[in-house]
């Protein structure tokens, strides 16, 4: 343990099990630690750094806006948030939005909006159906929304109004629907739950059920939005439009910003029913605008799709050598490699030593979520490191 690690242990609430590296610098898909060692970053700030580290368009936007106006109250108009809103609306199926600061906060806002809809158009319905193995954030209400009992148990009793049902089962959603149900909230691809892909037809069936029952369909695209799955938004990959969509991680490319977006029919907030001090601040919005514009103009989702195919092909090619690989799955640059044994912790530790950052999304699965600007050579380097590491672990 070096001095920084000792100090962290002394001062921090013990919630995070960090890998032993103190990161001090980043460029593109690479980060450097305080010893000068360099790593290929396939964690990317947790699926955040879509343009990689310290991309020039982000650095320029930060410099320019920081010298102009950093924060101003939402009591007044400010230009970057309006420009960003326009760009998001012109490129999505949604009509109205609200800016906030984190994924959990965006989801909270989406749930509040759905409850308003229930009061106004659903006879007071307020319950939201979510999926098991989902992840919607760490606030108390989003802990109840998150269908993972081990996240909820330390904090019971849970806030009311959420029902967690099996993912990929339209029957489970139908059975859980009552006159109190107002919405269904799903991730188009479950990220934290292990990169779980919806079965063919599932999201379409949920959309049809919501239409029949006057329920709102909320897509939590905090992880899947902004090109991650190879399309600008995840809903486009599956051809199913949500009534409400939440965004965060990739939206700012590394500055904290989030949003929830609604179709006209669900845009039912009245003045003073919701708010945020920092939400939509000029600095964060100017950076997110520069990121979004770059993502769209340079077809970054297309790069995610092509590099993702190379990554999955590379990982699939390892299967011949390592029969304990049981699955390679993903869309775009959200990919998981699953094993028949619980080796992801030691594998991530060895990858760190070899200069590759990865996430052990499950005890038996690794997650790959590199910057969307990653190159073919970098993908090949990552696959080669994983191959070497599995070779070490796979020795009897
Ligand atoms: C990361 C994540 C969240 C939470 O976002 P925070 O910014 O950490 O609050 C919510 N939903 C999904 C799908 C996520 O991946």
Q: What is the mean pLDDT of residues 378-396?
A: 93
DSSP tag of 77? -
pLDDT of residue 394: 82
Last residue of a domain, one of 280, 297, 314: 297
- pLDDT > 70: what percent of the chain? 99
Name residues whose C-beta falls within 8 Å of residue 20's C-beta, 6 or more positions apart in sequence.
1, 5, 352
**Would the pLDDT of 138 be above 70?**
yes
Q: How far apart are CA 177 and CA 213, in angstroms?
A: 9
Last residue of a domain, one of 282, 297, 312: 297
pLDDT digits (tens, 9 = 90+) for 246-280: 999 999 999 999 999 999 999 999 999 999 999 99
Residues 114, 247: one domain? Answer: yes
Q: What is the mean pLDDT of residues 97-120?
A: 98
Q: Which residue has the tokens 């990552």?
A: 382
Q: What is the mean pLDDT of residues 291-303?
A: 98
C-alpha gyration radius of the chain: 21
Q: What is the mean pLDDT of residues 143-172?
A: 98
Nearest to 87 by CA among 222, 251, 300, 279: 251
Please report, for the domain that includes residue 169, its CATH number: 3.40.640.10
At residue 31, φ and ψ (nearest 5 deg) are: -130, 155
Residues 31, 87: one domain? Answer: no
Which residues have CB under 6 Å of ligand 1?
102-104, 107, 135-137, 187, 191-192, 220, 222-223, 248-249
In a mutational test of the pocket of ligand 1, which residue from 103, 145, 247 has the highest number of ligand atoms less than 8 Å from its CB?
Answer: 103
Q: Which domain holds residue 195?
A: 57-297
**Would the pLDDT of 47 be above 60?**
yes
111: confidence class by pLDDT, cuts 50, 70, 90: very high
Residue nearest to atom 15 of ligand 1 (CA): 223
Last residue of a domain, one of 252, 281, 297: 297
Please report, for the domain that includes residue 30, its CATH number: 3.90.1150.10
Q: How far apart are CA 201 and CA 261, in angstroms?
A: 24
Q: What is the mean pLDDT of residues 311-333?
A: 97
Full-model pTM: 0.98
Residues 318, 360: one domain? Answer: yes
Q: How far apart are CA 394 and CA 396, in angstroms?
A: 6
Residues 221, 358: one domain? Answer: no
Residues 119, 256: one domain? Answer: yes
Residues 108, 137: one domain? Answer: yes
pLDDT digits (tens, 9 = 90+) for 195-208: 999 999 999 999 99
**Number of domains comprising the chain:** 2
DSSP tag of 159? P
Atom index in ligand 1 nearest the CA of residue 139 equals 9
Residues 76, 151: one domain? Answer: yes
1: confidence class by pLDDT, cuts 50, 70, 90: confident
pLDDT of residue 180: 98
In a mutational test of the pocket of ligand 1, which residue from 137, 151, 234 has the highest number of ligand atoms less than 8 Å from its CB?
Answer: 137
């Amino acid at each position: 343990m070096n001095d920084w690690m000792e100090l962290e242990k002394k001062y921090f609430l013990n919630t995070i099990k960090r890998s032993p590296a103190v990161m001090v610098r980043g460029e593109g898909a690479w980060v450097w630690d305080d010893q000068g060692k360099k790593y290929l970053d396939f964690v990317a700030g947790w699926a955040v750094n879509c343009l990689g580290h310290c991309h020039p368009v982000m650095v320029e936007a930060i410099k320019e806006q920081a010298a102009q106006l950093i924060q101003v109250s939402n009591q007044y108009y400010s230009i970057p948030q309006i420009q960003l809103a326009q760009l998001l609306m012109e490129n999505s199926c949604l009509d109205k939005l609200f800016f906030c600061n984190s994924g959990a906060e965006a989801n909270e806002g989406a749930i509040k909006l759905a409850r308003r809809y229930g009061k106004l158009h659903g006879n007071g319905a307020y319950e939201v159906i979510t999926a098991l193995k989902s992840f919607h954030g760490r606030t108390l209400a989003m802990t109840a929304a998150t269908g993972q009992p081990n996240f909820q148990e330390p904090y019971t009793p849970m806030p009311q109004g959420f029902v967690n049902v099996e993912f990929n089962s339209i029957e489970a959603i139908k059975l859980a629907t009552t006159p109190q149900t107002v919405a269904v909230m799903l991730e188009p691809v479950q990220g934290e739950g292990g990169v779980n892909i919806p079965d063919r037809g599932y999201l379409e069936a949920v959309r049809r059920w919501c239409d029949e029952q006057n329920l709102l369909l909320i897509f939590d695209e905090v992880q899947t939005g902004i090109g991650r799955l190879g399309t600008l938004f995840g809903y486009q990959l599956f051809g199913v439009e949500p009534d409400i969509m939440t965004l965060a991680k990739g939206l700012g490319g590394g500055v904290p910003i989030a949003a929830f977006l609604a179709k006209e029919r669900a845009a039912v907030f009245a003045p003073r029913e919701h708010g945020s001090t920092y939400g939509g601040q000029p600095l964060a919005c100017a950076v997110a605008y520069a990121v979004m514009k770059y993502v769209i103009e340079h077809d970054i989702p297309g790069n995610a799709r092509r590099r993702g195919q190379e990554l999955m092909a590379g990982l699939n090619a390892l299967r011949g050598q390592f029969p304990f690989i049981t699955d390679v799955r993903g869309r775009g640059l959200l990919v998981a490699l699953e094993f028949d044994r619980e080796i992801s912790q030691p594998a991530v530790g060895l990858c760190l030593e070899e200069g590759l950052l990865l996430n052990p999304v499950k005890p038996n699965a690794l997650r790959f979520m590199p910057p969307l600007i990653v190159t073919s050579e970098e993908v090949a380097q990552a696959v080669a490191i994983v191959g070497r590491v599995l070779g070490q672990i796979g020795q009897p």
